[in-house]
Chains A and B, each alone.
Chain A
């Protein structure tokens, strides 16, 4: 089981409270997690990664286990603590402003 924390606007869009829990078979990677997330919540398609290129949107970051995972390849294994649900996979909206 993977735990995913969405930014507030996407929790509203997906109509979820708190964390999302996803059951994933096989190796947990960013792509697998996002595929499962979008399958459960189709309204999130296009909001985290581009429909066509599947690139992470520029002002979003992926954090976990105290690390910035944003620049990891989409098929790179996630840390074990995320893969077993001990730590959440954080999707974070970049801070912006003055």
Chain B
């Protein structure tokens, strides 16, 4: 019987939420790794029972855990993230050079082609790859060696590589996004990279359309149309129709174009979801109303989705990795909040209900559709 498994990373552990295809009754397992920050938890597209977790704390550093039974039991994997060669420097908040220092893994992205290959986006920004199921990690240092690397500066959350998008049609093509450097693309499996930020406008930086320096929060792609990318930037929702060569704004009628996650419907490549947040200094929804906005036109025209979501006195945030979709016939949409709620919609966003209300602050949500 088909079903879904939601993998939820929180400030104080990981939770695994499972349901059958009706998605009405949920079994909640956890906390796994109680007390640790779980920035991301995700499964292999090829082997859904293989699940990876990024586990860290300020006390004990970074661990990578792997499960081979869908998150029931776990095994620590390799946790050595060594920058390639002499790490060099990037810019610090005060503009001075600052040595690259590993802090944590923000995001894990398993390969859709090989169950033992997985990518890790880390802070300070770099991309690592494991080809042995997470036992050892090597940096794809061509990214950091890009000529602009020494000028990258951290965003408020640190200088993190938080988004990794693998092109299913072109295995050599990878997109990454870094706060606050922007999007970079490789077409040779990570050997060389180039910025992909043309068209982005960021008023908070000296040169508003600079090649790098943009605070990109998240990018998303539908696998059937890999040249089309959607972006939630610090401010602005953006779209590219040429694999990141250029971007144009599609914020349209959103009440605020600030936010963190952006997600694409599993079956409709032009249906996208964002969660508007009031501003970068007020990380909560406008008017205390938690509203997901959906565009069925690939942007510009947005509708508020409110049924089942709190429409007063709601001041939570939804972080960049905390939204996901399933691929059942009626597409499920899921998101977690900094207030510990995980909401699910089984009708593509028309209506919502909480799966669980009182988890620690949610950092990430991924959803697996199980056969």
Given contacts A47-B63, A59-B58, A93-B59, contact A9 B36 (CB under 8 A): yes
Please, how many angstroms separate the alpha-carbon atoms of A43 and B62 in the complex?
11
* Chain A residue contacts of B79, Cβ below 8 A: 45-47, 51
Q: State whether the Cβ of B208 lies closer than 8 Å to any Cβ in chain A.
A: no
Q: Mark B178-200, 1 if CB is under 8 A from A, else 0.
A: 00000000000000000000000
- In this complex, how many residues of chain A approach chain B with their Cβ under 8 Å: the count is 19
Cβ-defined contact, A46 with B35, below 8 A: no
Please, how many angstroms separate the alpha-carbon atoms of A59 and B82 in the complex?
21
Q: State whether the Cβ of A52 lies closer than 8 Å to any Cβ in chain B.
A: yes
Other-chain contact of B59, A9, A43, A45 (Cβ < 8 Å)? A9
Please, how many angstroms separate the alpha-carbon atoms of A45 and B61 in the complex?
10
Cβ-defined contact, B60 with A57, below 8 A: yes
Q: State whether the Cβ of B57 lies closer than 8 Å to any Cβ in chain A.
A: yes
Given contacts A9-B35, A9-B36, A43-B76, contact A60 B82 (CB under 8 A): no
Cβ-defined contact, A51 with B82, below 8 A: yes
**Smallest distance from the beta carbon of A93 to chain B beta carbons, Å?**
5
Please, how many angstroms separate the alpha-carbon atoms of A68 and B261 in the complex?
46
Given contacts A43-B76, A47-B63, contact A9 B57 (CB under 8 A): yes
Please, how many angstroms separate the alpha-carbon atoms of A94 and B60 in the complex?
11
* Chain B residue contacts of A81, Cβ below 8 A: none
Q: State whether the Cβ of A10 lies closer than 8 Å to any Cβ in chain B.
A: yes
Cβ-defined contact, A10 with B60, below 8 A: yes
Given contacts A9-B36, A51-B82, contact A46 B61 (CB under 8 A): yes
Q: Mark A40-75, 1 if CB is under 8 A from B, else 0.
A: 000101111011100001111000000000000000
Q: Which residue of A lies closest to B58 (CB)?
A: A59
Please, how many angstroms separate the alpha-carbon atoms of A47 and B62 in the complex?
7
Give the tally of cross-chain contacts (CB within 8 A). 41
Q: Which residue of A lies closest to B62 (CB)?
A: A46
Q: Which residue of A lies closest to B83 (CB)?
A: A52
* Chain A residue contacts of B62, Cβ below 8 A: 46
Please, how many angstroms separate the alpha-carbon atoms of A58 and B35 in the complex?
18
* Chain B residue contacts of A86, Cβ below 8 A: none
Please, how many angstroms separate the alpha-carbon atoms of A47 and B36 in the complex?
13
Q: Which residue of B lies closest to A52 (CB)?
A: B82
Please, how many angstroms separate the alpha-carbon atoms of A51 and B147 in the complex?
28
* Chain A residue contacts of B47, Cβ below 8 A: none
Please, how many angstroms separate the alpha-carbon atoms of A48 and B79 in the complex?
12
Q: Mark A62-98, 1 if CB is under 8 A from B, else 0.
A: 0000000000000000000000000000000110100
Other-chain contact of A13, B58, B63, B82 (Cβ < 8 Å)? B63
Q: Mark A1-19, 1 if CB is under 8 A from B, else 0.
A: 0000001011001000000
* Chain A residue contacts of B61, Cβ below 8 A: 46-47, 50, 57
Q: State whether the Cβ of B80 lies closer than 8 Å to any Cβ in chain A.
A: yes
For this complex, 24 residue pairs linking A to B, each with C-beta atoms less than 8 Å apart, are A7-B59, A9-B36, A9-B57, A9-B59, A9-B60, A10-B60, A13-B63, A13-B76, A45-B79, A45-B80, A46-B61, A46-B62, A46-B79, A46-B80, A47-B60, A47-B79, A48-B60, A51-B82, A52-B82, A57-B61, A58-B58, A59-B58, A60-B60, A96-B58
- B contacts, CB < 8 Å to A: 35-36, 57-63, 76, 79-80, 82
Seed contacts A9-B57, A45-B79, A52-B82; 4 additional CB < 8 Å A-B pairs: A13-B60, A57-B60, A57-B61, A59-B58
